[in-house]
Amino acid sequence: MLKCNGFTNQQALLILVIIFPLGLILIGIILMAVQMKWPQENQKTQEQKNSFSQSQPQPIVQEQVDPVDTAVNTVNRWIQAMSDGDESIARSLMTGSATQFYDPNFLSQFYRVSISDLQVTSRSGSFVNLNGIITFVYKDGTTQRETRSFSVQLFNSSSPLITATEFIAVIKQRS
């Protein structure tokens, strides 16, 4: 008899007969597990794709904002911020020559500053030009009313800026 690694042929054959079927069984179990797991993973992947497509944000329908309303609101907010002494908001709403009108020392002499009767004088590209009446209420209760022009640049509805303002005329002298 031939010896194979210390085993007799009979022993080697016996081991082969026992191990081989166990190996096949083990391979069969692994294949079954893979087959059972693969469809589940495939199903999960499909479910994830479906849930992803369902959870995609729907397009946002933005309402059209009237540029004139935006310009008027911007001037109102700017004058209110100056009247309240809120330098942060006032400065965030102006640029260019409009910054010359904002002088906290000048504005400190007033109890209140307000704007009214804002009317569009022209529109050109991203600019809306308005005229309005500013009322300065002094700390002693006297008032002065002036007309003033404002130019508002509308980059977009969330960040319009007042780029210029000019004195037009005194409507009512301080009294």
* Confidence (pTM): 0.61
Q: What local confidence, expressed as pLDDT, does residue 107 receive?
A: 85
Domain boundaries, the chain: 7-52, 67-172
- The span from the CA of 154 to the CA of 67, in Å, is 7
Q: What local confidence, expressed as pLDDT, does residue 9 receive?
A: 73
Provide the residue-wise pLDDT of the chain in tens; the chain has 175 residues. Answer: 554 456 677 776 777 677 777 777 777 777 776 676 655 555 555 665 555 555 555 555 555 678 888 899 999 999 999 899 888 898 888 888 887 777 888 888 999 999 999 999 999 888 999 999 999 999 999 999 999 999 999 876 568 999 999 999 999 999 8
Q: In CATH, what is the architecture of 67-172?
A: Roll (3.10)
